[in-house]
Amino acid sequence: MQELIRSQVKPEIQVFANAEALTQAAAAEFVQQAHQAIQARGRFTIALSGGSTPKSLYALLATQPWRNQIPWNQIHFFWGDERHVPPSDPSNNFRMTQEQLLFQVPIPQENVYRIKAENPDAKAAAAEYEQDLRQFFQLQEHQFPRFDLVLLGMGANGHTASLFPGTDAVHEQTRLVVAPWVEELNSYRITLTPPVINNAVEILFFVTGAEKATTLKAVLEGQYQPDRLPAQIISPTQGRVMWMIDQAAAHLLET
């Protein structure tokens, strides 16, 4: 059964010589998906990720030639996860995106939907973001949003978004957003849940660096054990999953 679930959509794997080449390809993918979504549905909805590779991507998108190819006012920006800190904190994902991208390009303020992680109650912040999603996507009670693109990283411990090993969030099936307590960080995180991520039109993982090679091999080619390797829970029944990986992270893969 688990193997069946894993094989529902075969992930596409692209390996790049280095992080710079990967980031250029990611920018091209972003632009292509934005145009496709806008042509089909009149808007492009994206859930952004934290992490170092996305940071370079956001900075790149704000520069030419990418900047002029992007219909900024038809893009709606959401976040896949957030640290439980206010935007004034340098580790806040929204803050990082603001600095690299949102302040640099003409994005209407009303197209930006951040997680209000300054709320001292992380679970209330998650519930509020769930409501924001329900309202924007006009969802009925048991429906999930369908983002055009979800960007994800993967930690060396196998976490993705803020789905950490051993947390209940990995198996959440009904909520859209949850706030797991992450023991290893001694803090809460706020994250989209697996059914939301798995419902996207496209899911794009970025993985760079040799320190992630062993985990990446286990996630893509090892036994299915999402409690230990939460990135494995990202296994949709429809849509597209793409892994953009640099050579350093990919060097143990068989494919």
Ligand X SMILES: O=C1O[C@H](COP(=O)(O)O)[C@@H](O)[C@H](O)[C@H]1O
161 binds ligand X (CB under 6 A): yes
Closest CB 51 distance from ligand X, rounded Å = 3
Q: Which residues of 25-39 are buried (b: 16+ CB within 10 A; e: fewer)?
A: ebbebbbebbeebee
Binding to ligand X (CB under 6 A) within 60-119 occurs at 80-81
Query: How far is Cα 129 from Cα 163, in angstroms, rounded to an integer?
Result: 16
- In the list 2, 8, 18, 52, the residue contacting ligand X (rule: CB under 6 A) is 52
226 binds ligand X (CB under 6 A): no
Q: Are 18 and 245 in contact (CB under 8 A)?
A: no
Main-chain phi, psi angles of 181, to 5 degrees: -80, 125
Binding to ligand X (CB under 6 A) within 6-45 occurs at none
Closest CB 124 distance from ligand X, rounded Å = 20
- In the list 34, 45, 51, 192, the residue contacting ligand X (rule: CB under 6 A) is 51
> With respect to ligand X, which residue has the nearer C-beta, 127 or 152?
152
Cα angle 39, 45, 46; round to 5: 125
Main-chain phi, psi angles of 196, to 5 degrees: -70, -50
50 binds ligand X (CB under 6 A): yes
214 binds ligand X (CB under 6 A): no
Q: Are 195 and 178 in contact (CB under 8 A)?
A: no
Binding residues (CB under 6 A) for ligand X: these are 49-53, 80-81, 152-155, 160-162
